[in-house]
Amino acid sequence: MSVDAPQCFKEADSLRPLQLSQAAANEQLRQRWYYMPVRMKFGLTLALSLTWACLSYVIARQWITELSALVGVVLAHLMIFGIAIFPGFMNAFLVVGLLLDRRPPRSQFQDHELPGITVLVAAYNEEDSILTTLASLGKQNYPAPVEVFVINDGSTDRTMELLRSVSYPWLHVIDLKCNGGKANALNIGLRQASYPLTITLDADSYLYRDALLRLVERFLSDPPNTAAVAGAVLVRNSRTNVVTRMQEWDYFHGIAAVKRLQSLFQGTLVAQGAFSLYRTDILRTVGGWPECVGEDIVLTWAILREGHRVGYCEDAITFTNAPTTFHQFVRQRQRWSRGLIEAFKAHGELLLQRRMSTLFIWWNLLFPYMDLVYTLVFIPGLLLACFGVYWLAGPMTLLVLPMAFLVNGLMYLIQSRMFHEQELKVRRNPLGFLLYTLFYGIVLQPGCVMGYAAELLRLRKRWGTK
């Protein structure tokens, strides 16, 4: 374990720690010349991305004029802003923000400084993975007390039988005879939590080494108003087929980069249930997980509404099973989209908070509009372009390619560096990347639109990925 220089030499004579402290002070003073406050980074990122959006609009004026002759001025603007201007602004914001991001070092603590943790695992029909999930928990090097509650949520397979076959000293099993949903299972486990920090873990996930320790250290190193920290979730079953190969890049690139950016500006919007840490008292204050399909996003927004910060730990890694069929994938993204609408219904007042993270709330408010435009306008435009009709997809759309390449290249470099530090290797998956780049949105956006519609029409809610 690395520690600060004064701690290393605290047994030496009184002069040497003083010299080291002075040296540290000089180094701190030197670094201030290079330090840019987070709010300044936010302002610079916003200004540059708005400049890019304005430039894109100027370039697209001829495109808009030609399209206006066909559908009218208002509709033409709505189409082009949904296809190009807003996505371009978001990509530019992502690029500049990631370039300015300097992750603060995660402090390391003595064993006695680490708090005890409660881990909650809601399990429904997880006979294929529950034992490996528990094995990964058993391999964690966390020196403080740990208790794990596995809540068997009315499984109809051999999940409970397998849980009875193991005897870890830290394991407690709660057997629910009827399936009541993930939120209900987690809330039952929360009532039993003994420690100040609670971590949720999906029953089909596998923790990478020191994941618990890194997650707790990030929480302890972050600003004092931090109430939750999202871990890094990557695809465990990426070799299964093309569906999981595509999702590997989504988790590795898009999801991780967005969480990193949101964390920089003090407002990670989803502490995902697959692997996240929460202050136990805050969980109880906000009422635990709500009964809805997007319980993790609604809970996270409840925490943000109370004025707390939600962070992200990019090197606390768990590998989880992604949907293996397009049907399961679409159902999952429908559930996530419904969760977004549920979050706005429950905590829409976040749009009025004066915080940097409010930009991301407004950003999410644009997603239904952009997904709808992509589904109803851009995809048909691609089909028309195949027949030589370039109203919506043509040479002008090539303008988005430089920014898209820059975004993906930057995300790859950042994630690859993190992998190298963790002694992990980025698996070669060119087919998955090609499909992710060219076809992912064609499946993803229509699925999201169906999810928004299902929630707005109050259709029956179900988990949908089993």
Tell me which residue of 281, 259, 119, 136 sits closest to 200, measured CA to CA: 119
Distance CA 206, CA 18 (A): 46
Helix (H) or strand (E) holding 408: helix 400-421
Instruction: Provide the percentage of residues in the chain whose pLDDT is more than 70.
Output: 89
Q: Is the pLDDT of residue 88 over 50?
A: yes
Predicted confidence at residue 381, as pLDDT, reads 82
Mean pLDDT of 302-329: 93
* Residues linked to residue 277 through DSSP beta bridges, in sequence order: 199, 229
Confirm if 276 and 192 have CB atoms less than 8 A apart. no
Topology of the domain comprising 115-352: Spore Coat Polysaccharide Biosynthesis Protein SpsA; Chain A (3.90.550)
Could you tell me the pLDDT band of residue 403, with boundaries at 50, 70 and 90? low
Q: Using one digit for the tens of pLDDT, what is the confidence trace for 178-214? A: 999 999 999 999 999 999 999 999 999 999 999 999 9
Global pTM reads 0.86
| Winning range, highest mean pLDDT, from 149-158, 321-330, 348-357, 378-387 | 149-158
pLDDT of 13: 29
Annotated domain spans of the chain: 1-35, 115-352
Question: pLDDT at residue 393 above 80?
Answer: no
Mean pLDDT, to the nearest integer, of 81-89? 89
Are the beta carbons of 275 and 200 closer than 8 angstroms?
A: yes
CA distances from 387 to 66, 76, 209 (A): 18, 21, 53
Residue 461 CB-half CA count within 13 A:
19
pLDDT digits (tens, 9 = 90+) for 36-49: 898 999 999 999 99
Is residue 14 pLDDT above 60, yes or no? no
Give the pLDDT confidence of 324-352 residue by residue, as tens digits.
Answer: 999 999 999 999 999 999 999 999 999 99
Q: How high is the mean pLDDT of the chain?
A: 86
For the chain, percent of residues with pLDDT exceeding 90: 59
pLDDT at 402: 66
Residues paired with 234 in a beta bridge:
319
Tokens of residue 276, six digits: 């996240």
pLDDT per residue as tens digits for the range 110-120 = 888 999 999 99
For every residue of 80-138, DSSP letters joined together read HIIIIIHHHHHHHHHHHHHHH--PPPPP---GGGSPPEEEEEEESS-TTTHHHHHHHHH
CA dist 186 → 16, 144, 198, 212, 342 (Å): 52, 22, 11, 18, 19
The dihedrals phi and psi of 50, each to the nearest 5 degrees, come to -65, -40
pLDDT digits (tens, 9 = 90+) for 245-260: 999 988 988 888 899 8
The DSSP code for 280 is H
